[in-house]
Amino acid sequence: MSGQFHSEALDTPIGTMWIVTDAEGRLRAADWQDMGDRMQRLLRLHYGEDLRLEPLACASRVRLVLEAYFDGELEAIGAIRTRTRGTEFQRQVWAALRTIPAGGTVSYGELAARIGRPTAVRAVGAANGANPIPVVVPCHRVIGADASLTGFGGGLERKRWLLAHERKHAVATVPYNLELSV
């Protein structure tokens, strides 16, 4: 399956993020510039070798919403329309990730239980790691059972920053785990 998508860069406090959208303005992929090889592999896996990325001349709605998120308007990312490819299980995990409130965290085991697959902890971890649109599908909000920071495709320093950013700007009633360790 081939496709043509649009790409653009967004400077964030934790590095330049590449954003890939389709003709309908739906987010297809995002990752940090220094993780570009990983994003390219995921795009080719899902959309084929003849995938074309055309730069956008002006900022997309997705970029503007992500800018608002990085400026502290955490709820803004809920408005981003997405379209991803993956297995039914992966899409189920990714949908569940979007229900974790900003400023909150869950363990892999809790996420597995939420989707009705309490013994699929490792599979949930693998699906989390295959997420093509971090931040919007907030895989950074998943932590180890002992509340430790574990894997994040963008690196643990970015995960730590994202969680701290969300804690700082989240609605005060959102519960979150204050004791995170590496």
Q: Tell me the per-residue pLDDT of 123-139, one tens digit each, with 9 for 90 and over.
A: 999 999 889 999 999 99
Is 175's pLDDT higher than 90? no
- The CA distance from 52 to 128, in Å, is 26
Is 62's pLDDT higher than 50? yes
Helix, strand, coil distribution of the chain in percent, nearest 5 = 40, 20, 40
Q: Which residues does residue 29 pair with via DSSP β-bridges, in sequence order?
A: 20
Burial of 146 (0-12, 13-18, 19+ CB in 10 A): exposed
Helix (H, G, I), strand (E, B) or coil at 98: coil
Gyration radius (Cα) of the chain, Å = 16
98 or 57, higher pLDDT: 98
Active site residues: 139
pLDDT at residue 171, as a whole number: 67
Region 165-181: what's the mean pLDDT? 62
Mean pLDDT for the chain overall: 88
DSSP of 132-156: SSTTTS-GGGEE-TTSB----TT-H
Q: Which of 116, 118, 105, 92 is nearest to 162 (CA)?
A: 105
Region 70-92: what's the mean pLDDT? 92
75 or 178, higher pLDDT: 75
The H-or-E segment that residue 90 falls in is helix 88-97
Is 148's pLDDT higher than 50? yes
Is 182's pLDDT higher than 90? no
